[in-house]
Amino acid sequence: MKPIAILAFLLPALLSALPAWGQPLPEPPTVGAAELPALLKELRAGGYAIFFRHLETRLDQEDRQPVDLNDCKAQRNLSDEGRARGRLIGVTLKRARIPIGEVHSSPFCRTMETARLIAGRASPDANLFFAIALTDAGKRQKGEALRRMIARRPAPGHNALIVSHTANLQEAVGLWPKPEGVAYVFRGEADGGIRAVARIPPDAWGPVGK
């Protein structure tokens, strides 16, 4: 078989093996407590997608399989530290006058509670369901959905808040959000691309009581 014919034969398979998001985004700068006020000032103008991995959870709990999304007692839930941090983040964003428009959350109890603590509300979105145990096709679908959500420009003067899980962001843009409670700030570009602006570790918001 001629080289061109071989390439034509293999190209569909090679393309199908590529991640849905193409090349991973580079890790953005980490914003600590000293740099956070400047970032909040930038967020006040709107136009960003703020992704949170759910806040700290209880290590003595795990999700029962299959997951019952209507039974929080059968899931891993936020710890007291996670809830305290969520309240701190919510107060900080409110005092900084950060405009939050759409709020999307994975339907797990820990992600919904994270969104409510931070923004005061949450809308469950099945596209943000924890992707780690799904089939390859399922992971790809969740990753594509999250990538579109991050790339979409929020309403003028607003930011979008998204709460989901580790594997989902990995599938979407190639970034693994660690530890629990870490946030990433993204901005959708006019050409449909995404720019990773900042990574905010959970301790950047200040100390919390347990």
Domains of the chain in sequence order: 31-205 (3.40.50.1240)
Number of alpha carbons in the 13 Å side-chain half-sphere of residue 8: 5
Q: Please determine, for residue 200, whether its predicted confidence score (pLDDT) is greater than 50.
A: yes
**For residues 96-108, average pLDDT:** 98
Please give the mean pLDDT across all residues of the chain.
91
Share of the chain above pLDDT 70, in %: 89
**For residues 32-60, average pLDDT:** 98
Q: Please determine, for residue 14, whether its predicted confidence score (pLDDT) is greater than 70.
A: no
Binned at pLDDT 50, 70 and 90, residue 17 comes out as very low
pLDDT tens for residues 50-79?
999 999 999 999 999 999 999 999 999 999
Q: Please determine, for residue 116, whether its predicted confidence score (pLDDT) is greater than 50.
A: yes
The token duo for 196 is 């990773």
Q: Please determine, for residue 20, whether its predicted confidence score (pLDDT) is greater than 70.
A: no
Per-residue confidence (pLDDT) for residue 210, from 0 to 100: 56
Per-residue confidence (pLDDT) for residue 13, from 0 to 100: 38
From 202, 155, 167, select the one nearest 49 (Cα to Cα): 155
Q: Please determine, for residue 142, whether its predicted confidence score (pLDDT) is greater than 60.
A: yes
* Contact assessment for residue 119 and residue 90, using Cβ atoms and an 8 Å cutoff: yes
Dihedral sign computed on CA atoms, order 64, 175, 125, 110: positive
Q: Please determine, for residue 147, whether its predicted confidence score (pLDDT) is greater than 80.
A: yes
